[in-house]
A and B are shown apart, each in its own frame.
Chain A
């Protein structure tokens, strides 16, 4: 022992065996912060600076423009249809996958992942292929080719591609996996014992779902819905293909941003983009609140 220099011993005592030298810690932290600043904070800041370059007046003028307002309305409409639809489909799919075993389950799982795996542009093209005038269902949709269906469609002037229904369909498709993907691992980890317990206590199927399954997944579900909503509002690729870019009619916010940008109308483009960024920020704040509430509920349940 006496042979060990005292300097060595002192170092051992001050720094624990699991801590790296100070310079390494500082360098790594700085690197991480620089990365975050460069790739996340800077673009966000750029959106708002560009939007406000000509002052608040120009900013609000760009937002108050009827086309921008129509794009906002369409974006909210598409999300308002896609999110509840995927909420229902997602719960149903997750419930089936996590609580039951059946033939073709792995096929269903793969199908749920399909919208994530396929490029959104391709999903958009699929809808054009299916419902476009030259598409598979095109002749059905064209008035006159089908005696009563054609007349019915004609009377109501239904058009799918290059119209609102196509945009909604594409949005539903692209955002399909969010809720289901969020719920499946959660429901699988929870198992089926509580449901069986409820059944043996005399609860019916709906009671089991409403009183046992749903409360157990509510935070995961809420989180899935928030993510789904964020994507539904921000979707560009698929919607861009099926929209047709008709100003004031079939433009969503992301598409409107692109048009304005291509017209060198930078202030308006960034103003509308800032609207989307604000929606995203609001979503993230909501998400953080949900998470905090969730962890507090957990902590509350664990504490005496």
Chain B
């Protein structure tokens, strides 16, 4: 089942939430909509589900235009950020809800519904919790009940809004691996919204990076991380240094100059190397300001002598140990690998 959203525009009063957004999700994919808050990602998800209506544009599920189809008839499973479990119903009743509200002709018999509920709860590993109320469950359990409830109506597409947002760090990590595994098992086309880049990069087949009402880039996690299309994507996915040109020892392939100046390049902290300062070596001069050595990798906060700009460098512990540098030492910074991006000038 594929999801297609074409030229979606949405305003809330004077506020523009989505501006001519196009999204195409392939059948069976697990896709992350990644962006900061206010980028329009949740609105896009709700429009696909039919919980909001776009001012312009259309939505198609598996080639069928559903722009005017009400949410309940789209066969879309939606899991809300705070789960939205029915608090006055038990877990069993929650999961059965979608089956029981069907019209009499489509409704399954009572034993069939009970069977379906039982197998769904088993699938999300909650078979012993059917008689409990949502308030008696932990966040991770509630999340899985919400998932089972959404799956009960046999949706063609599964949409998850910030599925791990309300959970603590530990549960979050476990649950996102579980979701990836779960997705591989059932093979349902799934779109989830997140603002956590680590989450998106870890489990998604494809990442859609959104910013300020638009899509910035679509690609596999590796593509968007290694070859960001815009400065925003570069900054949003992992740490990055913006180094103003000229930089000693670096020649851009083409001029990056903008009306504001000679331009800049973007380099990730682990794509920079450090040498002790010595005459004859080529590199940009700087000072070590801070060393953060707790962990597998060592982060160094440097200051570029040319314009006093901060530059972050990340080294492996072995590299750091052979260097024998301390705070305050003069160093030479060199670029291992970079991505040249022409910046859009500030208006």
Contacts and interface: CB of A to CB of B under 8 A. Distances in A.
B97 A201 contact: yes
Contacts of A201: 72, 97-98, 101, 149-150, 152-153
B80 A202 contact: no
B136 A203 contact: no
A202 B82 contact: no
A199 B84 contact: no
A197 B72 contact: no
Contacts of A212: 86
Nearest to B73: A202
A196 B70 CA distance: 12
A199 B71 CA distance: 7
A1 B129 CA distance: 57
Interface string A196-221: 11111111100100011001100000
Contacts of A302: 135-136
Contacts of A196: 51, 71, 78, 80, 84
A198 B136 contact: no
Interface string B283-324: 000000000000000000000000000000000000000000
A193 B88 contact: no
A207 B88 contact: no
B101 A207 contact: yes
B72 A204 contact: yes
A193 B149 CA distance: 14
A301 B150 CA distance: 23
B30 interface: no
Interface in B64-96: 70-73, 76-78, 80, 82, 84-89
Contact of B84 (A194, A203, A215): A194
A240 to B, nearest CB: 43
B177 interface: no
Contacts, number: 72
B84 to A, nearest CB: 4
B101 A203 contact: yes
A203 B72 contact: yes
B131 to A, nearest CB: 12
Interface in B153-178: 153
B218 interface: no
A207 B107 CA distance: 15
B277 interface: no
Interface string A44-64: 000000000000000000000
A193 B82 contact: yes
Contacts of B101: 198, 201-204, 207, 211
Interface string A213-257: 001100000000000000000000000000000000000000000
A304 interface: yes
Interface of B: 49-51, 70-73, 76-78, 80, 82, 84-89, 97-98, 101-102, 133, 135-136, 149-150, 152-153
Given A198-B97, A202-B102, 19 more contacts: A193-B84, A194-B85, A194-B86, A194-B87, A196-B84, A197-B85, A199-B51, A200-B50, A200-B78, A201-B97, A201-B101, A201-B150, A202-B73, A202-B101, A203-B98, A207-B101, A216-B87, A302-B135, A303-B136
26 contacts: A193-B84, A194-B85, A194-B87, A196-B51, A196-B84, A197-B78, A197-B86, A198-B101, A199-B70, A199-B71, A199-B72, A200-B72, A201-B97, A201-B149, A201-B153, A202-B73, A202-B102, A203-B97, A203-B101, A207-B101, A211-B97, A212-B86, A215-B88, A301-B87, A303-B136, A304-B136
Q: Which 9 A-B pairs have the closest CB atoms?
A: A201-B98, A193-B84, A202-B72, A197-B84, A203-B101, A200-B78, A215-B88, A301-B133, A301-B135
